[in-house]
Amino acid sequence: MQRKEFLKTLGAGALFALTAGCFGGCSKDDEDFAPTEDVDFTIDLSDPTYDNLQQNGGYIIKDRVVVAKDDNGNYVAATQRCSHEGFYEVSLQNNEWFCGQHGARFDLSGQGLNSEASRNLTIYQTELNGQMLRVFS
């Protein structure tokens, strides 16, 4: 075998090894990004720490959960972990859940709005009692 043929063979083998590993590792099951723990916490909205929740469109992140006040004044909550590739980049933008890593967009009920959001986002329930906001699974 001549040197040129050897290098061609080596290159094709290396390319196969790299892509074969990705075929198995690049696809993710829905449960890969499912929350591993139940969510149940309470936020005291009178605490200045949570002032962002006083305005429509504002949000905070607590325990990897994005808690927000939507444009209609309703409290909503979602996992901070994007269902696209699992990055903790979800926030509220323009009354949608948005992943800053790849641009995945979800409506407030967690339904995907573009191709990067082919899997739904985990949404949590909220319950307001006076100034106490409970977020739970």
Per-chain mean pLDDT for the chain: 84
Per-residue pLDDT, 28:
42
Q: Are 57 and 92 in contact (CB under 8 A)?
A: yes
The pLDDT, as a whole number, for residue 8 is 56
Grouped pLDDT means (10 residues each) for the chain, 137 residues: 56 44 39 65 98 98 98 98 94 97 97 95 98 98
- Strand bridging mode 96-99 / 105-106: antiparallel
